[in-house]
Chains A and B, each alone.
Chain A
Amino acid sequence: DTEVTQTPKHLVMGMTNKKSLKCEQHMGHRAMYWYKQKAKKPPELMFVYSYEKLSINESVPSRFSPECPNSSLLNLHLHALQPEDSALYLCASSQVGPNIQYFGAGTRLSVL
């Protein structure tokens, strides 16, 4: 089973809302990732968790707040987003190191 599950599939939120994206995997992977993807662009790395600790933050604005409660779960908390934050948000997981990364189906986020 190489499944990474993301919820919700679609999310519409206003600029004053607080919402969370969720990601779950049961492959025993100890590295988990958040990416942002705009139309016709490649995925852009936001955060990396390795062994449940934040190892990379690619200068992401503080209105995005990641959380890794345990080795299977990854959350992305959203607050005071801007319309330009509308994008496909992808979660991925892998074994730590230069290993295969599996992507979830993504959450399509629209900020009004």
Chain B
Amino acid sequence: QKEVEQNSGPLSVPEGAIASLNCTYSDRGSQSFFWYRQYSGKSPELIMFIYSNGDKEDGRFTAQLNKASQYVSLLIRDSQPSDSATYLCAVKGGSQGNLIFGKGTKLSVKP
């Protein structure tokens, strides 16, 4: 059974702080890794994707991947109240390329 684990939170950080979201996955054959942001009642929105070990930065967001530890994280710098949402970690692998989602971490950024 392929699994993706996330701390459900809620994770509460003050405005301007760094929010750190973590995710582990069970399938060593996983090839690509995604972070989606989902506001309440809305559809998931792609924030970051990463395929290779190491860090990938895009604006205030940094994704980190460690395949040996089967661990992927998302850092949000200078957190804003508008970042308050549920963050879904998703992993894809194999020829079918199906996304396997974690249960999501709810982030709350307090002004």
In the complex the two chains form, what is the Cα distance from A48 to B98 in whole Å?
8
Chain B contacts of A88 at CB under 8 A?
41, 43
B88 at interface (Cβ–Cβ under 8 A)? yes
B17 at interface (Cβ–Cβ under 8 A)? no
CB-contacts of B21-73 with A (<8 A): 31-32, 34, 36, 41-46, 49
CB contact between B93 and one of A50, A55, A98, A102 (< 8 Å): that residue: A98
Interface of chain B: mostly helix, strand, loop or mixed? strand
CB-CB under 8 A for A99 and B32, given A43-B44, A55-B96? yes
In the complex the two chains form, what is the Cα distance from A99 to B32 in whole Å?
7
Least distance between B6 CB and chain A CB atoms (Å): 9
Least distance between A52 CB and chain B CB atoms (Å): 15
CB contact between A42 and one of B34, B43, B45, B101 (< 8 Å): that residue: B101
CB-contacts of A7-60 with B (<8 A): 31, 41-43, 45, 48, 50, 55-56
Proximity bits, A75-94, B CB within 8 Å = 1, else 0: 00000000000001010101
Proximity bits, B84-111, A CB within 8 Å = 1, else 0: 0000101011111111011110000000
Known: A100-B34, A102-B46, A103-B46. 4 other contacts (CB 8 A): A42-B102, A90-B44, A100-B32, A101-B46
Q: Which residues of A contact B (CB under 8 A)?
A: 31, 41-43, 45, 48, 50, 55-56, 88, 90, 92, 94, 96-106, 108
Q: Which residues of B contact A (CB under 8 A)?
A: 31-32, 34, 36, 41-46, 49, 88, 90, 92-99, 101-104
